[in-house]
């Protein structure tokens, strides 16, 4: 049963990836001002192949995707680099503030972060004494 669930999870992820790649192909094709038929002609393919690719029903080999990328004037990585979003979760206001502060800190040097951390610790101690 567990293997079936893992397999199902992988197939769902694969389907999402195929749809995401297909959506990128469609977006780049449209940005290039091409129809599916025109892109198919450039690749010596049937336009139905492009339609299946764009809808996520068919994912070609990397070699073919590389040819699609070339025909669209983009890099292969532009097509296959799919963000894997974190599972949706609702952040509390406190968590959002902490994440926002952490983003600001990332731009600082390690030395400055240590300095800021020490100041924040002192402030927290003072707040707790009240």
CATH 1.10.3720.10 fits 2-80, yes or no: no
pLDDT in tens, 25-63: 999 999 889 999 999 999 999 999 999 999 988 888 899
Per-residue pLDDT of the chain (130 residues; tens, 9 = 90+): 445 444 444 466 678 888 999 999 999 999 889 999 999 999 999 999 999 999 988 888 899 999 999 999 888 988 888 665 545 456 677 877 887 888 888 888 899 989 999 998 999 888 888 7
Closest CA to 25 of 62, 65, 85: 65
The full set of domain ranges for the chain reads: 2-80, 93-129
- What is residue 45's three-state secondary structure? coil
């Amino acid at each position: 049963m567990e293997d079936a669930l893992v397999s199902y999870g992988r197939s769902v992820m694969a389907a999402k990836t195929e749809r995401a790649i297909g959506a990128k192909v469609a977006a780049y094709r449209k940005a290039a001002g091409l129809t599916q038929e025109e892109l198919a002609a450039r690749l010596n393919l049937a336009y139905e192949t492009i339609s299946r690719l764009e809808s996520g029903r068919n994912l070609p080999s990397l070699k073919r995707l590389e040819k699609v990328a070339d025909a669209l004037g983009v890099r292969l990585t532009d097509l296959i680099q799919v963000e894997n979003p974190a599972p949706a979760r609702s952040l509390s206001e406190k968590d959002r503030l902490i994440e926002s502060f952490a983003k600001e800190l990332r731009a600082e040097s390690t030395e400055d972060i240590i300095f800021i951390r020490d100041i924040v610790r002192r402030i927290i101690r003072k707040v707790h004494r009240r």
